Structure 1
Amino acid sequence: MMVLASEEQARDWIGDAFAPAVRQWGQLERFAAMLVEENDRQNLIAASTIPSLWVRHIADSAQLLCLDRASDGLWVDLGSGPGLPGLVIAILSERPLLLVESRKRRCDFLRAVTDTLDLRYVEVAEAPLERIETRPAATISARAFAPLDRLIALSTRFSTESTRWLLPKGRNAVKELALLPQPWQRMFHVEQSRTDATSRILVGEGRIGAEQRGKR
């Protein structure tokens, strides 16, 4: 797999992988611009990543959609922050998205983007995950939400037997996976990130129930 190394490569890859319509390209461009503009007011992304925004944030988010092309139900994005990966997924897939974020200023930004881009199928849930009403998720993602064991413990009530878990975990993915109880480990496999040669994505399927939460 070629690791994307430039903004041009990132844009070309998005074009080849998803064939966005003109409207979708415009939404991605506008979202990227709003993200950079808002970053002057609140720390949404590291300033050092802005010159490589399409690699580090847009393509990095979009790659998750390649791992879940078969689903079309509700996608729940935990700790959505500035909408990464949730808003990128919403633009490219037009699937119903639930963006879970507890920080008010970030939720204000998420709502501003969804309003500006007319993303009517995106819902922003401004509350800790523990206070969000349970609903079945076809896909659960979390880019920077919590350590893996806590992430699963908090979100398993949203999962079903067919739920797809897409969890970018950077360089520590294999290490975090190894610390889980065996039944949890068997649900996941590891995928290489397209945007960082040292990063990995944990991909799982199924429901983690109470009977699986015991010690190894």
Structure 2
Amino acid sequence: MIADEKQAKAYLREYADDSAMSRLSKLEVALREENDAQNLVSNNSLHEMWKRHFVDSAQLLKHLPVQIGSILDLGSGAGFPGLIIALLRPETPVTLVESRAKRIEWLKYAVQLMELKNCAVEGARVELVGTHPYGVITARAFAPLLKLLKLSARFSTSETVWVLPKGKSAAQEIRNLPPRLRRMFHVEQSVTSDDAGIIVGKGKVERA
């Protein structure tokens, strides 16, 4: 379990070269400044940004196959996990979906700041985003699991991998799914909190 910022940076070194670490440092500074203007993340999490946001996002990579096509991050908000995944998987196209105007502006700025050529911001509600198949679908603090699956079903295929960081509710949210969906998913332990889980699954979700 990652205990502090020193351990968080050591963890990220497994995925990030010097250039990527430098860009993460730029993101840290920019996020602290922007958080004074809009509440992107909780103030309590700012002193553990590398652990609570950067590692919390990067850990999803170990649940992804090497060849994944493209990634869809729903309700990106401050940019987690999408910005971090885009940085650490520069060969993979990543789309960040966000509907709130100030958050859209922030995401576009962050993408430019971090020089993420593979990352695009889709400024719209999920319901209005064009239907395209994605290799990976992720979301953090976006919606309860069943609602999330209903909203994003049309983006999934039989090969789509789902990686959905959750808190204490992960196992319960899976239990609340209809049986046909429940069998698709399981919970992996988060490395950033004993209480947090990551819902992982693979396959196409049929529209409810």
Q: TM-score range by the shorter chain?
A: over 0.9
- 1:39 is aligned to 2:44: no
For 1:7, the equivalent position in structure 2 comes to 5
Amino acid aligned to 2:9: R
TM score, norm. by length of structure 1: 0.93
The structure 2 residue matched to 1:59, chosen from 52, 55, 62, is 55
- 1:162 is aligned to 2:159: yes
TM score, norm. by length of structure 2: 0.97
For 1:151, the equivalent position in structure 2 comes to 148
- 1:102 is aligned to 2:73: no
Give 1:129-208 correspondences, 5 Å limit: 129-208=126-205
Q: 1 CA distance for matches of 2:26 and 2:67? A: 26
Q: Displacement, 1:145?
A: 0.6
Q: What secondary structure sits across from 2:188 in the alignment?
A: strand
Q: 2 CA distance for matches of 1:44 and 1:71? A: 31
For 2:108, the equivalent position in structure 1 comes to 111
- 1:85 is aligned to 2:81: yes
Q: Displacement, 1:195?
A: 0.1
Q: 1 CA distance for matches of 2:195 and 2:50? A: 18
Amino acid aligned to 2:6: E
For 1:70, the equivalent position in structure 2 comes to 66
The structure 2 residue matched to 1:23, chosen from 16, 19, 26, is 19
User: Which digits, 9 at most, give the CA deviation of each residue in 1:97-143, with x for residues without a partner?
Assistant: 10000001001001011112221211101110000001110000010
Q: Displacement, 1:148?
A: 0.7
Q: What secondary structure sits across from 2:13 in the alignment?
A: helix
Q: 1:37 to 1:69 in 2, by over 3 A?
A: farther
Structure 1 residue runs of 4 or more that deviate by more than 3 Å after TM superposition: none
Q: 2 CA distance for matches of 1:33 and 1:185? A: 40
Q: 1 CA distance for matches of 2:145 and 2:177? A: 8
Q: 2 CA distance for matches of 1:69 and 1:21? A: 20
Q: 2 CA distance for matches of 1:31 and 1:72? A: 25
Q: Displacement, 1:22?
A: 1.7
Q: 1 CA distance for matches of 2:113 and 2:58? A: 20
In percent, how many aligned pairs have the same letter? 42
Q: Displacement, 1:4?
A: 0.4
User: Which digits, 9 at most, give the CA deviation of each residue in 1:60-90, with x for residues without a partner?
Assistant: 0101111104233110000000101100111
Equivalent pairs counted in the alignment come to: 207
Q: 2 CA distance for matches of 1:52 and 1:82? A: 15
